[in-house]
Chains A and B, each alone.
Chain A
Amino acid sequence: MASVAARAPVVPRPAEPLSGRILRVLGKAPVHLFLAVIGLLWLIPTLGLLFTSLLSASDLGGGGWWQILSKPSVATWQNYDALLSNEQITDSLLTTLQVAIGSTVLPIFIAALAAYAFAWLEFPGRDWLFIVVIALLVVPLQMALIPIFSLYNTLGIFDTVLSLILFHTAFGLPFAIFLLRNFFIGIPKDILESARIDGASEFRIFFRLILPLGLPAIASLAIFQFLWTWNDLLVALTFGRDTKPITVAIFNQLTEFGSNIEIIAPASFISLALPIVVFFAFQRYFVQGLLAGSVK
């Protein structure tokens, strides 16, 4: 457009008349309206859970969560008070936090080591081994449940925080190695070579150069891994029936659904509040990680 305008001297476009501007805005109104309705519809379910959690059991018996909209005074923190003095639930939250942190730090550290080897160390069979890692990316974790169940029983670590962390770590590795290796390989070669010429050991290079430079990728990965393990139900239900991460605790309540909604709703809301906080705090990394994971 610009080049066309440069070649042919065009009369400057007259300022758009007011009527035209009004028409243009009106013409877009359906799109705005449509998006506003959809956006609202998308928020309602989560708000519904929040409102449910703020109503006493007796108020919930008398009607839906939307009664809070017409009568905000019925909202109460009593469910949350009860929940936070319920040791089973607070223990579950603590357990989940331990599992999620362990299952974030451990796989990322181990994956970073391996990714460095795949990106910058030379060894026989490197490409072949990396293809194996990519292949492991799609192995459904259902393939491991039964043998690991038996293995954990043999080792005597069944139903412990450690057993959950180790399982999450292993299944987090293929994606973490894949992502970090692709990131590390983009680090300029000169930086590494000059460090090697200066006599730095591979470990020194890894800790002093690669890890700091890889921080953006590590951050995205950490958020994903944290959310994934915090939100996990399948592994927790299989190996942590008594260790009881929060999802298992809620699941146990859910099997008697109806009578104890005043526990389920606030517990679910607490369990999803942390991921939402993490999501809003690190939105940029979250989206970056998503794009790196899929578009690549």
Chain B
Amino acid sequence: MTAAPPAAGAPPAAGGQAWRKHAVTLAFLGPALLLLGVWIVYPTVRTMLRSFFDRDGSAFVGIDNYEDIFTNEVIFRAIRNNALWVLVVPALVTAIGLVFAVLTERVAWRIAFRTAVFMPMAISLFAAGVIWRVMDQQDPDRGAINATIGVVKDAIDPPGSLSNAFASTPALEGDASRGLVLRRALEPGDVARLGLTGIPPGQVPGGAEQAADPGPGEGIRGVVWRDFKPGGGTPGKVEPGELGLPDVIVVLRDAAGKKVASTQTGPDGAFAFDDLEPGSYRAGIGKATFAKPFGGVSWLGPKLITPALIFAYIWVWAGFAMVVIAAGLAAIPRDVLEAARTDGASEWQTFRRVTVPLLAPVLSVVFITMLINVLKVFDIVLAVAPGSVQDDANVIALAMWRTSFGGVNDFGLGSAIAVLLFLLVLPILALNIKRFRTEAS
């Protein structure tokens, strides 16, 4: 450490002058010491003591509050969730930052890319939380993530044309997940009436016409129709005002359950199976017709909230890791890398054996910074997690705040959680001091 020079030109300090010197020092240092003392040092000591008292501070309770931390379901879940954050986030953010930094290093438009990825750093974690709350909405018509998943899913596994329909009478058995089958066995000459209901007017397939009861014929004839009209009508009977359901695939199976034929209904819902061998058949509509469209993943629900939060958090911090690591990368002497390449090392070997070891100090700084950040994570949880799932999304800092100020108002327990948080970052404090000591000497 550089020693400050003595006040130049001054003779060895006499009593009065020493006082003057101290007064000057105090004028420079005083305001900072006062603020640090009153706002950080005193409260820290106070909180430690407070953690051994009950909620309003009137009775000494020993370590009861600390026992509560580990027995209170909600608070203990905060610790478990935070452990997951610690395991996942620092490593992932460092890795992503490294990949981005390395990939962009020799790309001409890296400034544009780095700006895009770094920008969320300027945004508050709270605003980022609002952004992701909009992105993560469950309804695929509103949440962009579910909309994207929905497009992919519906392309692979398209929804049925009658996803909300169900049988209008007990003549049909089964349900939407297995398909509907006419209970009664049919023989050639019979009429199969497959009445469906629960179809909103907007979901009636286009081109539907008045349903027509085909009446008996040569083979098995039938109709699939919307067995409902304003006022209700009689279930099971094709009536004027009820629409046929076109383009529904009707499947005919024989007594052994083997598929014999399938056909599509016409605009009036009518269908016919001709040229049948005599025997007993069953007619039905397959489950594909009733397949529901993608309803959206519940990102903000109790199960997925922590992964959703971690995702949003990585979106914010990856830019930080990238910029710091890119700076470290730029500081690696080119000739070291060139030498490795000249010696015949592949790009991957050069990266793995030369670049990464040389970057190790920078990587560890990013990792430790993220470790501290993740232990104190707060804003984003409060912003993204709806009130009803905050118990499931809980983290230590949030548990501390909710216990102290969020309605519970237990300052004793709140203090104990704060002390736990402090103990968790303490090793990092030791590391900081050690680093300063080695720098100073």
Contact = CB atoms under 8 A, between A and B. Distances in A.
Contacts of A279: 119, 121-122
A122 B39 contact: no
Interface stretch (A70-78, A86-94, A265-273): A265-273
B44 A143 contact: yes
Contact of B386 (A46, A64, A120, A257): A257
A271 to B, nearest CB: 6
B121 to A, nearest CB: 8
A127 interface: yes
Nearest to B132: A45
Looking at chain A's contact residues, the main secondary structure is helix
B116 A43 contact: yes
A295 B327 contact: yes
B41 A136 contact: yes
B113 A122 contact: no
B401 A234 contact: yes
Q: What size tier do the contact residues of chain A reach? A: 35 or more
Contact of B35 (A31, A151, A166): A166
B376 A32 contact: no
A227 interface: yes
Contacts of A261: 134
Contacts of A68: none
Interface stretch (B175-183, B257-265, B410-418): B410-418
Contacts of B130: 49, 250, 254, 264-265, 268
B436 A131 contact: yes
A80 interface: no
B351 interface: no
Contacts of B378: 233-234
Report which residue of B120, B126, B378, B426 has the largest number of chain A beta carbons within 10 angstroms of its beta carbon.
B126
B141 A64 contact: yes
B8 A196 contact: yes
Given A135-B433, A268-B130, A268-B131, A278 B122 contact: yes
Interface in A129-175: 130-131, 133-140, 142-149, 151, 166-167, 169-171, 173-174
9 contacts: A1-B342, A39-B116, A42-B315, A45-B134, A135-B432, A136-B36, A146-B43, A231-B127, A237-B401
Interface of B: 1-9, 21-22, 24-25, 27-29, 31-33, 35-36, 38-44, 46-47, 50, 100, 103-104, 107, 112-113, 115-117, 119-128, 130-135, 141-144, 147, 315, 320, 323-324, 327-328, 338, 342, 362, 365-366, 369, 372, 375-376, 378-379, 382-383, 386-387, 397, 400-401, 404-405, 411, 414-415, 417-419, 421-422, 425-426, 428-429, 432-433, 436, 440
Given A114-B32, A144-B43, 13 more contacts: A35-B107, A52-B134, A60-B142, A64-B142, A111-B32, A117-B29, A121-B24, A123-B21, A136-B40, A147-B50, A196-B7, A196-B8, A238-B405
